[in-house]
Chains A and B, each alone.
Chain A
Amino acid sequence: MAVKKLKRGVALVGAGMTPFGTFPGLNTRDLFVQAFQEMRASVDKGFDPKDIEALVIGNYSSTMFEGQNFMAPYVADAVGLTPIPASRVECACASSGLALRQAIMTIGSGLADVVLVGGLEKESDLPIARVTDVLATASDSIYENPAGFTFPGLYALLATAYMHRYGATPETFMRIAIKNHENGVLNPKAQFGARIADIMVSKQKAAAKRGKPVPQWDSELDFLKDDQANPAIAWPMRLFDCSPVSDGAVSLLLVAEEIASSFTDKPLHIIGYGQGSDVPTYERESLTTIKAARIAAEQAYATAGVTPKDIKVCEVHDCFTIAELIAIEDLGFFKPGEGYKAIEEGLTSRLGPRPINSSGGLKSKGHPVGATGAGQVVEVFKQMRGEAGPRQVPGDLNLGLTHNLGGSGMAAIVHIFERRQ
């Protein structure tokens, strides 16, 4: 079947985000204003916000987190954009990946030339147990939740299935966490921008200060294997396999390709785009792959006319470490069953041949669910334009990819970006 493509090109010309973390006293509107201001500053030639013709935001559940449903017009008001069309889309943790896609389609259809994308979530106002319950409303409330599943539990299923089929061990997952913390340390926006080794030292200092016995570990892996320091959440997923509870907002500016040069000389052309869906975990034929992501990636590569080996920089949805392992196989960077060997050999480190999650990923950077997909785009924007500072991935990064999952992988959205100058 012929590849179905947009009728006209779309370019990313601006990107900004808040730090990810916990911000008492700031609501999603406040956070979005910060992201919007940073996005404005990122547009090389400047622009008038009055030229924005539509707003699309991704937001998982301000409804339950903040008691505020119907967020789109409030966000539009916060940045002075009324009366333009303001829409909110929800796709669990892929909400702002979907917002980006809807904005691309709005421009691609010819209905608008300049569209603002938002991603936002404010989780930390609720106690942690309530946050967990809100997140759990994205898993199957009829058949998965009654069995006692949590999100870490659903991803742990994929982990045990993968370990059984291919021979990976919990140590594989720990290596992903170590790598992503290593990257996050170089990202000033990261919620946990500390090496595992730094976290070990701070735990030792804290114990000494309280007059308790100072724990000793031989290595980062030794620390991560310690049941006290790194307790199981849903075996084999431990605390350091899980992304944190986060607040954050992201703002992206998309324009029609033909007007991009009036915003910047370094636009990123969005040449690949794909979206897939899948059944709940118990209905899947295979638990060692996320089919929705494979489908989304196939579409994205086909629309872009590129192959996995062409991609130079890549952000994947590591809500749990196992998800990063499965992602690098689903995206075609490694064959099924070989991703874990690549991780153990260090191939996915920032300076390795296949850098994954130079931002620190969801694990270290943070995971404000509705902001996550757009947040991945901010990293690719900075990396591809050579603006990532100390965490810059070396080389001519002309092609970048983002991989954003919803729920247990029942939704996936992939985008491919190209820099032509």
Chain B
Amino acid sequence: MSELPFNSTSYYHLLSEHKLMGCRNKTSGKFYLPPRPMCTTSYSSDMEWEQVSGKGEIIAFTVITVAPTHMIEAGYSRENPYCAAIVRLQEGPAISAQILGVDLSMPEEAIKIGTPVQATFIERGEGPAKRTYLAFEVVQ
């Protein structure tokens, strides 16, 4: 683990192993998720990996009906929209991700800020194009 550089490539590599991981700066104690190669408080690069619980809550969201190309390729459309959100993790940082398991037909009534969610992982693409994406599911 210690040989992985503290950057986005490693973050997505770890996601592909279904691990949601950030890094803590040993000088400042500040925790970063996504990981960074340098602490922007202490300017130190003395980092260590830390896995998070994956628990968090929705702090802002949208239901996207006009999707970008890569989401259309993943099967989304006006008839099949998706919820994208920012989730604040229990450990402090917040991250952008898709939200699964919510009723998309009436967002105003069905999706609430503050809803507790749990991290999950989505696999898309085949062979070398296969990639793992972070998502969250509503905690029932």
* A interface list, Cβ under 8 A from B: 129, 132-133, 136, 140, 142-150, 152-153, 156-161, 164, 170, 231-237, 280-283, 287
Give the contacting residue for B65; candidates A132, A235, A282; CB below 8 A.
A235
Q: How distant is the Cα of A161 from the Cα of B86 in the complex, in angstroms? A: 10
What is the minimal beta-carbon distance from B116 to any residue of chain A, in angstroms? 15
Chain A residues near B81: list those with CB within 8 A.
232
Given contacts A133-B68, A161-B113, A232-B65, contact A149 B60 (CB under 8 A): no
B130 beta carbon closer than 8 Å to chain A = no
In the docked arrangement, what's the CA distance between A160 and B71, Å? 22
Shortest CB distance A143–B (Å): 6
- Cβ-neighbour of A233 out of B8, B60, B66 (below 8 A): B66
Which has the most chain A C-beta neighbours within 10 Å: B62, B66, B72? B62
Contacts A148-B76, A158-B60, A287-B59 given; does A282 touch B86 at CB 8 Å = yes
Q: List 20 A-B contacts (CB under 8 A).
A: A129-B72, A133-B68, A140-B96, A143-B34, A144-B96, A148-B71, A148-B82, A149-B84, A150-B64, A157-B85, A160-B60, A161-B59, A161-B113, A231-B78, A233-B66, A235-B65, A237-B62, A281-B86, A281-B96, A282-B94
> Which residue of the partner chain B has the closest CB to A232?
B65
Query: Which chain A positions have C-beta within 8 A of B97?
Result: 147
Q: Would B61 and A147 count as touching, CB distance under 8 A?
A: no
Which residue of chain A lies nearest to B78 when distances are taken between CB atoms in the complex? A231
> Roughly how many angstroms separate A251 CA and B86 CA in the complex, as a whole number?
39
Q: Is the CB of B113 within 8 A of A148?
A: no
Asked if B98 CB lies within 8 Å of chain A CBs, one says yes
With contacts A143-B34, A143-B96, A282-B94 taken as known, whether A132 is within 8 angstroms of B68 at the C-beta atoms is yes
By Cβ-Cβ distance, the 6 closest A-B pairs, closest first, are A156-B62, A147-B96, A157-B60, A235-B63, A161-B60, A164-B113
A232 touches B63 (CB 8 A): yes
Query: Secondary structure at chain A's binding surface: helix, strand, loop or mixed?
Result: helix
Known: A148-B84, A157-B61, A157-B86. 19 other contacts (CB 8 A): A132-B68, A148-B71, A150-B64, A152-B64, A157-B85, A160-B61, A160-B62, A160-B113, A161-B113, A170-B108, A231-B65, A233-B65, A233-B66, A235-B62, A237-B62, A281-B60, A287-B59, A287-B60, A287-B86
Cα A145 to Cα B64 in complex, Å, equals: 12
B67 proximal to A (CB < 8 A) = yes
B82 neighbours in A (Cβ, 8 Å): 148
Task: Judge whether B2 is part of the interface by a CB distance below 8 angstroms.
Answer: no
Give chain A nearest CB distance to B71 CB in angstroms.
5
**Is there contact, CB below 8 Å, between A150 and B107?**
no
B43 within 8 A of A: no
For chain B, give the interface size range: 20 to 34
Q: Which residues of A contact B63 (CB under 8 A)?
A: 232, 234-235
Shortest Cβ gap from A356 to chain B (Å) = 24
Q: Give the Cβ gap from B76 to chain A, nearest Cβ, in Å.
A: 7
CB distance from B97 to the nearest CB of A (A): 5
Contact call B67/A150, Cβ cutoff below 8 A: yes
Q: Are A148 and B67 in contact (CB under 8 A)?
A: yes
**Chain A: CB-nearest residue to B82:** A148
Query: With the chains together, A270 CA to B84 CA distance in Å?
Result: 41
* Complex: A280 Cα to B86 Cα, angstroms: 11
B69 contacts partner chain A, Cβ-Cβ < 8 Å: yes
What distance in Å separates the Cβ of A158 from its nearest Cβ neighbour in chain B?
A: 7
Report B67-94 CB contacts with A as 1/0, cut-off 8 Å.
Answer: 1111110001010011011100000011
